[in-house]
Amino acid sequence: MAGNIIGRMFKVLSFGESHGKCIGVVIDGCPAGLELSEEDIQKELDLRRPGTSRITTSRMEEDRVEILSGVFNGYTTGAPICMIIWNKDIRSEDYESIRFTPRPSHADYFAYVKYGGYNDYRGGGRFSGRITAGFVMAGAVAKKLLKKILNVEVIAYALEIGGEKAEDFTLDDARRYRYENDVRAPTPEAAVKMKEKIQQAIFRGDTVGGVIECIVTGLPIGLGEPVFDALDSDLAKAIFSIPAVKGIEFGAGFKAARMFGSEHNDPFIVEGGKIKLEKNDAGGVVGGISTGAPLHFRVVVKPPSSIGLKQKTIDLKTGKQTEIIVGGRHDPCIVPRAVPVVEAMTAIVLADHGIRYGVIPPVIRNL
Amino acid sequence: MAGNIIGRMFKVLSFGESHGKCIGVVIDGCPAGLELSEEDIQKELDLRRPGTSRITTSRMEEDRVEILSGVFNGYTTGAPICMIIWNKDIRSEDYESIRFTPRPSHADYFAYVKYGGYNDYRGGGRFSGRITAGFVMAGAVAKKLLKKILNVEVIAYALEIGGEKAEDFTLDDARRYRYENDVRAPTPEAAVKMKEKIQQAIFRGDTVGGVIECIVTGLPIGLGEPVFDALDSDLAKAIFSIPAVKGIEFGAGFKAARMFGSEHNDPFIVEGGKIKLEKNDAGGVVGGISTGAPLHFRVVVKPPSSIGLKQKTIDLKTGKQTEIIVGGRHDPCIVPRAVPVVEAMTAIVLADHGIRYGVIPPVIRNL
Amino acid sequence: MAGNIIGRMFKVLSFGESHGKCIGVVIDGCPAGLELSEEDIQKELDLRRPGTSRITTSRMEEDRVEILSGVFNGYTTGAPICMIIWNKDIRSEDYESIRFTPRPSHADYFAYVKYGGYNDYRGGGRFSGRITAGFVMAGAVAKKLLKKILNVEVIAYALEIGGEKAEDFTLDDARRYRYENDVRAPTPEAAVKMKEKIQQAIFRGDTVGGVIECIVTGLPIGLGEPVFDALDSDLAKAIFSIPAVKGIEFGAGFKAARMFGSEHNDPFIVEGGKIKLEKNDAGGVVGGISTGAPLHFRVVVKPPSSIGLKQKTIDLKTGKQTEIIVGGRHDPCIVPRAVPVVEAMTAIVLADHGIRYGVIPPVIRNL
Amino acid sequence: MAGNIIGRMFKVLSFGESHGKCIGVVIDGCPAGLELSEEDIQKELDLRRPGTSRITTSRMEEDRVEILSGVFNGYTTGAPICMIIWNKDIRSEDYESIRFTPRPSHADYFAYVKYGGYNDYRGGGRFSGRITAGFVMAGAVAKKLLKKILNVEVIAYALEIGGEKAEDFTLDDARRYRYENDVRAPTPEAAVKMKEKIQQAIFRGDTVGGVIECIVTGLPIGLGEPVFDALDSDLAKAIFSIPAVKGIEFGAGFKAARMFGSEHNDPFIVEGGKIKLEKNDAGGVVGGISTGAPLHFRVVVKPPSSIGLKQKTIDLKTGKQTEIIVGGRHDPCIVPRAVPVVEAMTAIVLADHGIRYGVIPPVIRNL
């Protein structure tokens, strides 16, 4: 129990259920003096909804963030910032059916056992991807803080979907295109191909997974508090909070298993009088500390568990084998929606470590 | 700062430096009433030293654990357990040289910047692999607790070294053979091949990486406290505290990116009147909660940074480009020594979550 | 920063401002399976309002609690419980005046300096007594949990107001009468006298302080986790979170300074075959652990800072000496309203320690 | 369980037992770059021993601190600082007797129940006053840090012992005389009288209590993180960790119960162009934040429980009433030894809050 708070100095508490009254989040520890409006949050929140990269007014009414506390006269006050979105249009679907015939690879059954049957099972309750809307709201604040104080930028994108991998692109491409297409690909070409894979899955009544890549620029040397609160440790922890994530790797990642030390090592060079790394196979973190090179990691996202095909399950009432076809409208691929969530969780961890390391002050004075 | 404590209820604090007086660890939160001796700890500690799987008396004098507190009359008391090993035979090597010509892909330079030059750089200081001896000491307690209360067993082994992968083996093979060979392979055959790869690397003056696999049996459903203190989140955080780890994946892991949902999903089946999972592509954790199936994850370990070949670096005194050949005796492959450390960190996280979930009591009464 | 969360396993986060949108609280770590309704919370919340001991329907519309999450089908789910009351009738008073002429012994000026002028100063913002409505909401849940699982009862009352001290009463008197009178006195007679003192203060344009006594029955031996998370330590911390509290003492308290050990010691006796304490000068806690005797402590509450008399202050704009008469309607004595808050904070700490010590389970099964 | 760590950013972990191998402490979060030697620690540690205010070489061998980690080349490194004193001359007293006939008002019996009989009962184990030697070691570091960075000074002294109260003295008197006399009184005259009271108690085979006053100068406005991590909250928590403490009050303290608001309020005045408080009845903290005025609180210390007189207790083996006379040499008054401990715990809390508020940096650069 009591596992819904992350961070040491920039603390984020998640609350709310998929089919409850609202999805919410509270930040305790945001520095005072950061300019912040609901629009700042909304902008990020809108990116989490697929098909809305070009934000249209018609959709703007949905999932409107409301800041309940911690902001006054347009600036953060240093007090806890509570933000919520109200749940609307909750259809009174018959969730009783899934309650006793748990969906394979969903948390339904395990949560049922863990919480003694008291968990809110409607729409997955706390295990719904919808919970990540709260992550994005908190992440929006973290991102703004990082940008303002350290000029840090967090950029994630779909590197691969359904086996289709983006290639030959620059960070600038990713920065420019990822929110211009529905699948969050770093190039328009990759977007087309990935979309095709998703459509094929839809046609099959099936789902596909993929890989998200995240790059962070502008970090100073020194973030991360080894040995246990290492930067990669805390990032990994945060990223695994995102439903459907099954792995993470930094820099060369799993490829490092087949590299020699002489290949993997990143030599120091002097460039324009400054000390730099010749390459970045470490992914921007060595010994748990940021190296000044871009932070660089990849995250694997499994194919969504809600498929339109018949699956084996059990009937909890009788204890006997049965079958299930998961109804309702579900995402055929969660990667696009997870992209801004990866950015959010990354920003939350970096803000926390920025404050811990003293490079982000408790109060932003003399704006 | 202040990042050397892990866990919420079974807290582990690491202290000590590679060339300081000692390597130590304190556990705050170990239940009272667990039978515990220095031999219990020593047994695990000895596994961390390569070439000592068949423990010989002659080596037993080295790295002797000393329990300083928290154990009385052969049982834990509920008070903090402090354990140390004294550092001996510290050669007065000239570490001044590496101080100002940092070794590529070591933490030397980044720690120098982060700690304002005050860090103990001798032998890597806090960034030395030797620190993990403390992890193993704490892990030994966690393992004993898990075994005693839940009959949980934690088994890690070298799945792959230098590109050589173990194949066709069972969990029983791994349990039996991993500590019978120097490389911690799950089969004698794999051990031979992996050792060969390491020897080739030594011959080149180079180093190799690999993959460690970890399997945990006996876990009940329900460990893990989503959304942020999910079981996989906390395991990932803990595992990344081990130097040289660059990635982690659960179950199908990165392969999930190219699977359909219908492939990846683990159907529920009834077997002997009990609800089970037909397969375990989730790796024993769904929605951040243990599923009752074996916990199953893989960790990539990079090739050690200390190679015997010439590398580019910088001279911190002049700010100019220079070269370095890292001297001293270093591990050509860290995988074998990291195997018991992976087990230890896994056990620490599981003990913490066992207490949090109430399946491990604060006091073990009526032994 | 980041100081708005209390508790280790039963975590309470406070948010909201006096003149913001709402006052709120989130509990992370409440066991699943506790029957809970908004009425349970409302009942406690109503006690915080003076003059409402006999709850009338007409007042019930004010300060209505709304549970936003964590409760489903009438039971807690194990997920975070967010509760708020909306702020209504916020008069657009000219708080600009107090912004730059800080009220003596209010937090106005110190918060202004600490938060760089960004704090919400309206009505005291986060430093308003109104914040404690959130404490009471969380405390209501803790109280219900303690009652249900341990049959623990928390009883606080006004022991002394304006120098008028209640005398010759039993715990039963306090239980029965404290919420029957406006000042929360343990007897009707004391209530009359205390009320008189308050009216005298009102007449003078002044305010008065007092002492609250708190007694907790039903606690088992063993709550409290020394040395730092001792039961008295955590209670003291929690109680000092209540605005206007300036001291706390357990059992004989400050009188112990003038007692001999032979007087202060509580002998063990056997009564009906059970081990008991002959008296309770320790106040129910020894060595930081509950003794099984009633927990017993007293809290001093200073006279409210908002007085109707002229006071010296400074003009922050000019830096010059000036005077202020604090306007608006303020409490002439905060003791009565603080009584349920003391109960709430006490219950929160006890619930947290009950979970930590394993006597309150993470899930309440088989209700 | 798991209650032996205090602090958020300057974390202090206590370990060791009265009659175990050692008493120890680890600080996680001390900034790098603080000049620190064993002598710095020893100096404070020596003050905890009665009769040693004029430190003599002959005594220097006893209770020698040993720094095991975290200090290198005379400066803190940013790594955890482990410090211990070895327990010597542990007489093999028959503690079995007290094991089953618990001493009244000692933790013996309550710890026995709480820890299932596994606690180290020798000499009180974790409940011995000797544990506070660890607090003093950590406090010595905190004090040095506060002095170095903020020029903060922490001064505690015996205000009252056995009913004998020090009067007519200045802070300078206290600073000068408190460690010049055995009872830690602020004046030589008070010392004589207090000592007399203690001798009278010894003569009776009894013990006496007293009051410690603590004043901290040099604090800036703004330390303390309301609402829960208020400065007074965290100080109170820390002070109650000291055995025998039964109460704490700030500024006017319990007297505030009988004051009018017009008396208690501290007006703002301008003095030499600076904003000050005319008096300090708040004790240096308002709304949980330091006010810039000296921090000022008093702590009541009960008479030691170990008296030489016959007391009622129970025989745990038979469950029957019996009697006990506590043998061995015990302190007739704990106040003098608690004085440096109060200073230590105060400094620890202030260091923690200094780092949290950003006025103490994570690295002390350019000494």
Q: Residue D137 pLDDT > 60, yes or no?
A: yes
Give tens-digit pLDDT for B270-316.
999 899 999 999 999 999 999 999 999 999 999 999 999 999 999 99
Give tens-digit pLDDT for B91-107.
656 677 778 899 999 99
Contacts A355 to B, Cβ<8 Å: none
- Count of A-D CB contacts under 8 Å: 15
pTM: 0.97
Give tens-digit pLDDT for A224-262.
999 999 999 999 999 999 999 999 999 999 999 999 999
- Least Cα separation, residue A70 to chain D (angstroms): 13
For residues A99-115, average pLDDT: 94
The domain total for chain A is: 1
> Of the ranges C243-252, C311-320, D51-60, which one carries the lowest mean pLDDT score?
D51-60
- pLDDT (0 to 100) of residue A54: 38
Give tens-digit pLDDT for A306-320.
999 999 999 999 999
Contacts C221 to D, Cβ<8 Å: 110, 113-114
- Least Cα separation, residue C261 to chain D (angstroms): 5
Interface test with D, best of C245, C260, C307 (most D CBs within 10 A): C260
Contacts D2 to B, Cβ<8 Å: 8-11, 28-29
B282: nearest CA partner in chain A: A105
Half-sphere exposure of B268 (CA within 13 A, CB side): 27
As a whole number, the mean pLDDT across chain A is: 93
- Least Cα separation, residue A126 to chain C (angstroms): 7
Give tens-digit pLDDT for D110-124.
999 999 999 999 999
- Least Cα separation, residue B74 to chain D (angstroms): 10
- pLDDT (0 to 100) of residue A136: 98
Q: Residue D92 pLDDT > 50, yes or no?
A: yes
As a whole number, the mean pLDDT across chain B is: 93
Give tens-digit pLDDT for A162-205.
999 999 999 999 999 999 999 999 999 999 999 999 999 999 99
**Confidence band, pLDDT 50/70/90 cuts, at residue A1:** confident
Contact B278 A312 (CB under 8 A): yes
Contacts D28 to B, Cβ<8 Å: 1-5, 13, 15
For chain D, percent of residues with pLDDT exceeding 70: 94
- Least Cα separation, residue B8 to chain C (angstroms): 8
> First vs last Cα of chain C: how many Å apart?
40
For residues B214-223, average pLDDT: 98
Question: Alpha-carbon distance B335 to B185, whole Å?
Answer: 10
Contact D80 B14 (CB under 8 A): yes
- What residues of B are in the C interface, CB distance below 8 Å? 8-9, 356-358, 361-363
- pLDDT (0 to 100) of residue B343: 98
- pLDDT (0 to 100) of residue D94: 62
Domain holding D91, by residue range, is: 5-356
Q: Looking at the domain assignment, is residue B283 inside a domain?
A: yes
Q: Looking at the domain assignment, is residue D255 inside a domain?
A: yes
- pLDDT (0 to 100) of residue A94: 62
Q: Looking at the domain assignment, is residue B361 inside a domain?
A: no
Give tens-digit pLDDT for C214-238.
999 999 999 999 999 999 999 999 9
- pLDDT (0 to 100) of residue A52: 47
**Confidence band, pLDDT 50/70/90 cuts, at residue C53:** very low
Q: Residue C296 pLDDT > 50, yes or no?
A: yes
Contact C358 B356 (CB under 8 A): no
Domain CATH for B162: 3.60.150.10
Contact B2 D31 (CB under 8 A): no
Of the candidates B152, B190, B214, the one whose C-alpha atom is nearest the C-alpha of residue B359 is B152
Contact C307 D261 (CB under 8 A): yes
Q: Looking at the domain assignment, is residue B341 inside a domain?
A: yes
Contact B361 C358 (CB under 8 A): yes
Contact C118 A13 (CB under 8 A): no
Interface test with C, best of B5, B9, B26, B289 (most C CBs within 10 A): B9
Which subunits sit against A, judged by 3+ Cβ pairs under 8 A? B, C, D
- Count of C-D CB contacts under 8 Å: 363
Q: Are C335 and C161 in contact (CB under 8 A)?
A: yes
Contact C127 D270 (CB under 8 A): no
Q: Residue A365 pLDDT > 90, yes or no?
A: no
- Least Cα separation, residue A169 to chain C (angstroms): 40
Q: Looking at the domain assignment, is residue C361 inside a domain?
A: no
Q: Looking at the domain assignment, is residue C202 inside a domain?
A: yes
Of the candidates C224, B304, A229, C279, the one whose C-alpha atom is nearest the C-alpha of residue D28 is A229
Contact B72 D363 (CB under 8 A): no
- pLDDT (0 to 100) of residue C322: 95
Q: Looking at the domain assignment, is residue B164 inside a domain?
A: yes
Q: Looking at the domain assignment, is residue B367 inside a domain?
A: no
Contacts D138 to C, Cβ<8 Å: none
Contact A20 C364 (CB under 8 A): no
Give tens-digit pLDDT for B110-156.
999 999 999 999 999 999 999 999 999 999 999 999 999 999 999 99
For the range A55-61, what are the long-range contacts, defined as Cβ-Cβ under 8 Å and sequence gap of 24 or more?
A: none
Nearest residue, CB atoms, C260 vs list D207, D229, D278: D207
Contacts C206 to D, Cβ<8 Å: 260-262
- Least Cα separation, residue D259 to chain A (angstroms): 32
- pLDDT (0 to 100) of residue B136: 98
